[in-house]
Amino acid sequence: MLQKLYDWVDERVDITPMWRDLADHEVPEHVNPAHHFSAFIYCFGGLTFFITVIQILSGMFLTMYYVPDIVNAYESVKYLQNEVAYGQIVRGMHHWGASVVIVMMFLHTLRVFFTGSYKKPRELNWVVGVMIFGVMLGLGFTGYLLPWDMKAYFATAVGIEIASSVPLIGGMIETFLAGGDVLGAQTLARFFAIHVFFLPAALLALMGIHFILIRRQGISGPL
């Protein structure tokens, strides 16, 4: 049945070469931990990607209950956490995953740095990586405010304060982030929009470029 369906589609759109290209791609020996245990350092990029997928999926489910306004945000998170079936586990995955993904990304960056993989011809992908790094930190910063409890509020107040100390444009950054003169309704609304629309869209685009470049250039090494 499934085979028939596959053949039907394949006859019309020729899908076999698409997945064959990925499935038949051989992983070089020097990045395969089954050959050299120390090659596990090459897994951090893939692990970062894996946690990122978990973040996107769990985040999509969180938006089913989360209400992004200052009257309801805290209660909606509390309801999700205590009443909704599996709500606690989905929120827990997103909460802890947010830290794990930063750690994995950092380890991946260290691997790329210490194997010298940022050198020619991979300079561009390093630059793309630095952009991804910034987007990930932005996701962490904007997501932290969303539960709208004391910790979220005052941590964000400190964060915006730090950003406002940038020479010359600090005031502009502060107004942009807070959405006005005070940390309030406008801030929560734009942090939500940035957290669930702007930065994830940027992240998907950048990760796409990151992976296309890796496939075109091949993995670096062996040392």
Residue numbers of the site for ligand HEM (CB under 6 A)?
42, 44-46, 48-49, 52, 105, 108-109, 111-112, 117-118, 122, 125-126, 129-130, 132-133, 207, 210, 214, 219-220
Task: Give CA separation, 219 vs 26, 56, 112, in Å.
Answer: 11, 26, 10
107 touches 101 (CB < 8 A) = no
- Minimum CB separation from ligand HEM for residue 101, in Å? 7
How would DSSP label each residue in 53-76? HHHHHHHHHHTTT---STTTHHHH
Q: Which is nearer to ligand HEM, 107 or 185 (CB)?
A: 107
Q: Which is nearer to ligand HEM, 117 or 142 (CB)?
A: 117
- Minimum CB separation from ligand HEM for residue 40, in Å? 10
**Cis ω before 222 (30° cut-off from 0):** yes
183 touches 160 (CB < 8 A) = yes
Q: Which is nearer to ligand HEM, 58 or 117 (CB)?
A: 117
- Minimum CB separation from ligand HEM for residue 57, in Å? 15
- Minimum CB separation from ligand HEM for residue 108, in Å? 5
Task: Give CA separation, 46 vs 20, 40, 49, 115, 130, in Å.
Answer: 20, 11, 5, 17, 17
Q: Which is nearer to ligand HEM, 50 or 65 (CB)?
A: 50
